[in-house]
Amino acid sequence: MTNYQTSPSAATDLIVKELRCLLHKFERVDNRDSPILPPIDEINTQISLLLEKQACLLPLLRQQLADLSGAVGQANPPVALILKLICHLGDTLDQIIDPLELIARIGLSLFKTPLDNDHDYGALKMFRTRHLLVEFVNLMFVHTRKVIHCHMTLFEPGGSSENPLISPDDEPNSHRLREDSIEATVEALNYIDDLIRCCKQSDVSIIRGQLQSRADDLGSILATLTQRIIVANQLEQENNLIDENLPAPNSLGETEGRQAIIGSTTNDLLQTGSYNERTEGAQSDANTSDDDDQSGTGYSTDSSVHISRRPHLVEVAQWTILVVKIIRVFWNRLSKPSSDRPFAISTKLSSAEIVPFTTGINSLVRTIQKIVDTLVLIYDNDELSDSVAHIHGLSSHIATRFDSYIFWLKCNLVSLSSSPQSCGPTLPQDPFKKCFFKLRYCFSIYFAGYTEALRGLGTE
pLDDT of 290-324, one tens digit each?
A: 444 444 334 334 333 333 446 788 889 999 999 99
pLDDT, average across residues 248-266: 43
Give the per-residue pLDDT at 196.
83
Confidence of residue 448 (pLDDT cuts 50, 70, 90): very high
395: pLDDT strictly greater than 80: yes
Q: 0.85 exceeded by the pTM?
A: no
Angle at 242 between CA 237 and CA 245, to 5 degrees: 125
Q: How many CA atoms lie within 13 A of 192 on its CB side?
A: 24
Q: What is the pLDDT of residues 140-157, one digit of tens each?
A: 888 888 888 887 777 665
> How much is the pLDDT for 443?
92
- Eight-class DSSP state of 288: -
At residue 101, the pLDDT reads: 72
CATH of 33-201, one of 3.30.565, 1.20.120, 2.30.30, 3.10.620: 1.20.120
Residue 250: per-residue pLDDT: 47
pLDDT at residue 232, rounded to an integer: 82
What's residue 270's pLDDT? 47
Mean pLDDT of 167-180: 68
Q: Return the top range by mean pLDDT from 65-74, 237-246, 323-332.
A: 323-332
**pLDDT at residue 363 tops 50:** yes
At 366 the pLDDT is 94
Q: At 372, is the pLDDT very low, low, confident or very high (cuts 50, 70, 90)? A: very high
pLDDT of 373: 92
pLDDT of residue 129: 76
Helix runs in 105-248, H state only: 126-138, 145-153, 171-200, 203-225, 232-244
Average pLDDT over residues 210-236: 89
DSSP secondary structure code for residue 433 in this structure: I
Instruction: Please report the pLDDT score of residue 419 as a whole number.
Output: 46
**pLDDT given for residue 364 in this prediction:** 93
Q: Count of CB atoms within 10 A of residue 325's CB?
A: 24
pLDDT tens per residue, range 17-28: 666 666 665 555
State pLDDT tens for residues 399-438: 888 888 887 877 777 766 544 444 444 444 556 666 777 8
Contact 243, 308 (CB under 8 A): no
Mean pLDDT of the chain: 71
Task: Work out the average pLDDT over 321-329.
Answer: 93
Model confidence at 179, pLDDT cuts 50, 70, 90, reads confident
Percent of the chain with pLDDT over 70: 60
**339-343: long-range contacts (C-beta < 8 A, 24 or more apart)?**
341/431, 341/435, 342/415, 342/416, 342/417, 342/428, 342/431, 343/413, 343/414, 343/415, 343/416, 343/427, 343/428, 343/431, 343/432
pLDDT for position 433? 63
CA distance 450 to 399: 11
pLDDT of res. 418? 47
Span 104-127, average pLDDT: 65
pLDDT digits (tens, 9 = 90+) for 206-219: 888 889 999 999 99
> At 262, is the pLDDT very low, low, confident or very high (cuts 50, 70, 90)?
very low
Mean pLDDT within 35-47: 66
Is the predicted pLDDT of residue 287 greater than 80, yes or no? no
Task: Kindly tell me if the per-residue pLDDT of 230 is higher than 70.
Answer: yes
Q: Where are the domains of the chain?
A: 33-201, 204-458
